[in-house]
Amino acid sequence: MPTEQQISGWGRFPKAQGQQHFYRSESELAALVAEHPHCIARGGGRAYGDSALAGVMLNSKHFNHVRAFDRDSGLITVEAGLILADLLAAFVPQGWIVPVTPGTQFVSIGGMVASDVHGKNHHVDGSFGQHIQSLRIMMADGSIQQCSATDNADLFHATIGGMGLTGIILTVSFRMLPIQSAWIRQETRRCDSLDAVMDEFEQSQHWKYTVAWIDCLSQGENLGRSVLFRGEHASRAELPMPLAERALAPKAKRKLNVPFNFPRGLLNRWTVSAFNEVYFRRAPEKRTDFVDYQSFFYPLDAIHNWNRIYGKKGFVQYQCVIPKAESREALQKLLGLIASAGEGSFLAVLKLFGPQDGLLSFPTEGYTLALDFPAKPSVFALLDRLDQVMLEHHGRIYLTKDARMSAHTLRQSYSELSHWQDIANLYDPKQRWQSEQSSRLGLRQSEPPKEAQNS
Amino acid sequence: MSQNQTALIIGAHSDMARAIANQLASEGYNLQLAARNAQARLARSATDLILRHQGEVNCLELDVAATDSHADFIEQLTPLPDVVVCVAGVMPDQQSAEQDYALAKLMIDTNYAGVVSLFEGLAPRMASRGTGCLVGISSVAGDRGRQKNYIYGSTKAALTTYLSGLRNRLASKGVHVITVKPGFVNTAMTEGMDLPEKLTAEASEVALDISKAIQKQRNIIYSKPIWRLVMLVIKHIPEFIFKKLDI
């Protein structure tokens, strides 16, 4: 019998008490589902907040087989517990990569579906959900349902981005992308202001991958100064000689580790400003080079346990998206608030999304801003002010990053929420799937939870 | 890379065996996976390994505790493997094994007697070929008997001693023998136990350690390496003190 343990998401805030159960087959999972009235699936544990925390967590790490792969079409079927890094390690050398990847490869494929993750190519290829052909799901009554865009379509769309609250994803079938090399031709551009980087994004729509690092502490005319990265998969023919020889198998890089929790206060206005100044000045005004896919997509994965730099009390990540028409004005206000509060983070990212429909999926056409902050009262007060601006400009917050938004904020920002709830209630009338996050936000309830109503 | 080499994994159904199979297949080994009820229990793993690594994978029926069947099993191996990793092992609850000798005997038969029978069958064939590597998964639990799991520990102590002698015998015949002593590993065997994070390895880490040991012809490895130090201390506690401890 598993013991109670203290457990948290990648942000190490909040911490919860719960039991983890592991399963290796569908029949083992069915027995666990029958035994526990309330539970939630847990994969790589890379959701930042409380999305995969609950009193009972069903951990998919051993349910991770590749079941089928068609080398002509690229269609692959995998068990949901498979970690993206393991999939890439096996298939990149064979000339295949995932069509959409988040910023870490330590997520599970099931988590990529439940969060409907986006990547640097969202403006071209949409989110991961748009590449899924079909899903198999264990339902609340222990039965197994297959679904796709044409077959049980409501369940399919409610599960993509559905935070694991429609059932336990068993297998995922999606199309891999053929590649000639594991290298990315990357162009780096320094942009002196928010206006400059937004103009660059507009002009980079034909690039497959775009993303910008943004200096969230600079103020005045430097507000929003950024370094923009654009990338394309390098063809074999364009690679220079030493790289071309190992086109699909770049040498593994040495990994760094953060061996212990850094003391609180190490990251402060001055150290982060200094880091940002150096990072910005070091970036070339314009340069092209070839980088391996790991360095391009997963720069932070090279530092194991980087979440320890925020200390034992953890951190929160704030990621919102603002519709395009209102982005410029809203970003000015958001960055102004963040810079004057002086609570900046190393990792601050700006990205332009393309159009997307979804029920509970995060992306929508517009700019998304992501930053992390140490978890402490002054930060929570700042984030509440950011929420106000975000709501005034019709934005929303990414559930997978969230650990603290209010139930009201959720209801004002996710316009398809009640539609999604109707589908979830149809397939799980007893509301057996529950996470700390779904309880906190009343995700499955038409009204916000009582506490939230009083505040 | 080990193109065209073959590795036999005995007790191929466990988490540890899956991790070792994945590691060796990624290096180019073709695999022979042996377990009880092999076709039913190994089919999913075999497909997974073939799709990931594009090598050959064959599933073979084998009951490690049924020593009568071993001669036939070894006879039908084609080819005779270059590397054999025996992962078979069971660890029922100590108190149950104290009360029910059948459970103690199952440990003795699987963890020790079965391995002896298989390795004794394989050793002369490898010796006459003049190459080969036999890997036995023992345990730090065999380094000293503790009240919490001394029956399991004693089967591993016997295995460690056996592997030491076999290594000595085969050293001049071109066949190498490796003793692997994992500490705590996150697998089905330890699920639900409250294990200290710094002393606990993932199965994939142990698999990588084994792969390096095969390449470098190491004799005895601990995984994680810190366990060598931990067990050095535990082995040197005087018996008159040790017998009163609850560790």
B93-123 confidence digits (pLDDT tens): 999 999 999 999 999 999 999 999 999 999 9
> Would you call A94 and B54 a contact, using CB atoms and an 8 Å cutoff?
yes
Query: A256 in contact with B at a CB cutoff of 8 Å?
Result: no
Q: Which of B52, B54, B185, B198 to mutate to test the interface with A (most CBs of A within 10 A)?
A: B52
- In 3D space, the residue among A59, A61, A77, A101 whose CA is nearest the CA of residue A172 turns out to be A77
Establish, for the pair of chains A and B, how many residue pairs have beta carbons separated by less than 8 Å: 33
Please state whether beta strands B175-182 and A75-79 pair in parallel, antiparallel, or not at all (unpaired).
unpaired
Q: What is the DSSP letter of B80?
A: P
The 3-class SS string of chain A reads CCCCEEEECCCCCCEEEEEEEECCCHHHHHHHHHHCCCEEEECCCCCCCCCCCCCEEEECCCCCCEEEECCCCCEEEEECCCEHHHHHHHHCCCCEECCCCCCCCCCEHHHHHHCCCCCCCHHHHCCHHHHEEEEEEECCCCCEEEEECCCCHHHHHHHCCCCCCCCEEEEEEEECEECCCCEEEEEEEEECCHHHHHHHHHHCCCCCEEEEEECCCCCHHHCCCEEEEEEEECCCCCCCHHHHHCCCCCCCCCCEECCCCCCCCCCCHHHHHHHHHHHHHHCCCEEEEEEEHHHHHCHHHHEECHHHHHCCCCEEEEEEEEEHHHHHHHHHHHHHHHHHHCCCCCCEEEEEECCCCCCCCCCCCEEEEEEEEECCHHHHHHHHHHHHHHHHCCCEECCCCCCCCCHHHHHHHCCCHHHHHHHHHHHCCCCCECCHHHHHHCCCCCCCCHHHHHC
Sign of CA dihedral A74, A80, A84, A88: negative
Mean pLDDT of B56-64: 98
Confidence of residue A451 (pLDDT cuts 50, 70, 90): low
Inter-chain CB proximity A91 and B52 less than 8 Å: yes
Q: Pairing state of beta strands A66-69 and A56-59? A: unpaired
3-state secondary structure B144-163: CCCCCCHHHHHHHHHHHHHH
Which residue among A1, A24, A66 places its CB closest to the CB of B51?
Answer: A66
Q: Is residue A189 part of a domain?
A: yes
Taking residues A51-57, what's their average pLDDT?
Answer: 98
CA distance A433 to chain B (A): 22
Q: What is the count of structural domains for chain A? A: 1
State yes or no: pLDDT of A80 exceeds 90.
yes
Half-sphere exposure for B246 (CA within 13 Å, toward CB): 0
Set of chain A residues whose Cβ sits within 8 Å of the Cβ of B194:
3, 5
Mean pLDDT to the nearest integer, A210-227: 91
Query: In the predicted model, is pLDDT for residue A315 greater than 50?
Result: yes
Query: Looking at the domain assignment, is residue A431 inside a domain?
Result: no
Is residue A446 in a domain? no
Is A258 part of a structural domain of the chain? yes
- Read off the tokens for B188: 């089905």
Closest residue of B to A79, CA-based? B48
Which pLDDT tens digit goes with each residue over B117-135?
999 999 999 999 999 999 9
Residue A95 lies inside a defined structural domain of this protein: no
d(CA B37, CA B59): 10
Tell me which of A27, A62, A79, A308 to substitute to probe the interface with B (most B C-beta atoms closer than 10 Å): A62
Contact criterion met (CB < 8 Å) for A65 and B54: no
Q: Cβ of A90 and B53 within 8 Å?
A: yes
Residues of B whose CB is below 8 A from A94? 54
Chain B residues within 8 A of A91 when measuring between CB atoms: 52
Percent share of chain B, pLDDT over 90: 89
Q: Of A3, A24, A90, which is closest to B194 when you measure between CB atoms?
A: A3
CB contact under 8 A, A3 and B15: no
Does residue A218 lie within any of the structural domains?
yes
Cβ pair A90:B188 closer than 8 A: no
Which of B45, B47, B52 lies closest to A90 in CB terms?
B52
Q: Is A177 part of any domain?
A: no
**Residue of B51, B93, B208 best to disrupt the A interface, most CBs of A under 10 A:** B51
Measuring CA to CA, which residue among A290, A16, A29 is closest to residue A142?
Answer: A29
Angle between helices B15-26 and B203-216 (to 10 degrees): 50
Residue of chain B nearest A259, judged by CA positions: B198
Chain A residues with CB under 8 Å of B51 CB are: 66, 68-69, 90
Inside any domain, residue A278: yes
Which pLDDT tens digit goes with each residue over A95-146? 999 999 999 999 999 999 999 999 999 999 999 999 999 999 999 999 999 9
pLDDT in tens, B180-214: 999 999 988 888 788 888 889 999 999 999 999 99
Structure-token match 């551009």, residue found: A189
Distance from CA of A20 to the nearest CA of B (A): 8
The answer to whether the beta carbons of residues A435 and A164 sit under 8 Å apart is yes
User: How is residue B76 annotated by DSSP?
Assistant: T
State pLDDT tens for residues A392-422: 999 999 999 999 999 999 999 999 999 999 9
Average pLDDT over residues A174-194: 96
The mean per-residue pLDDT over the stretch A244-264 comes to: 80
CATH class name, domain B6-242? alpha beta
pLDDT digit string (tens) for A343-379? 767 668 999 999 999 999 999 999 999 998 999 999 9
Contact yes or no for B47 and A65 at CB 8 A: yes
Distance from the A109 Cα atom to the nearest Cα atom in chain B, whole angstroms: 15
Percent pLDDT > 70 in chain A is 98
Q: Would the CB atoms of A90 and B191 count as touching at under 8 Å?
A: no
CB-nearest partner of A66 from B48, B188, B191: B48
Tell me how far apart the alpha carbons of residues B132 and B124 are, in angstroms, rounded to a whole number.
11
- The better pLDDT of the pair A146, A254 is held by A146
CA distance B177 to chain A (A): 30
Query: In whole numbers, what is the pLDDT of chain A averaged over residues?
Result: 93
Instruction: Report residue A35's pLDDT band, with 50, 70 and 90 as the boundaries.
Output: very high
Residues 39-68 of A with CB under 8 A from B: 62, 65-68
Q: How far is B53 from chain A (nearest CA, A)?
A: 7
Q: Do A2 and B191 touch (CB under 8 A)?
A: yes
Question: How far apart (Å, rounded) are the C-alpha atoms in residues A125 and B146?
Answer: 59
Q: Token pair for residue A10?
A: 């990648």
Give me the CATH number covering residue A323.
Answer: 3.30.70.2520
More confident residue, A275 or B215: B215
* pLDDT average, residue stretch A27-56: 98
Q: What is the DSSP letter of B118?
A: H
pLDDT reported for residue A219:
87
Q: Is the Cβ of A2 closer than 8 Å to some Cβ of chain B?
A: yes
Q: How far apart are CA B98 and CA B106, in angstroms?
A: 12
Mean pLDDT over residues B17-39, rounded?
A: 97
Burial of A429 (0-12, 13-18, 19+ CB in 10 A): exposed
Cα–Cα dist A221/A424, whole Å: 48
Instruction: Give me the residues paired with residue A20 across strands.
Output: A57
- Domain coverage including residue A295: 183-407
Return the residue matching tokens 């298939």. Answer: A91
Above 50 in pLDDT, residue A33? yes
* CA distance, residue A76 to nearest chain B CA (Å): 10
Do B192 and A2 make contact, defined as CB atoms within 8 angstroms?
Answer: yes
> Is the CB of residue A305 less than 8 Å away from at least one CB of chain B?
no
B193 chain-A contacts, CB cut-off 8 A: 3
The residue behind tokens 């044409």 is: A150
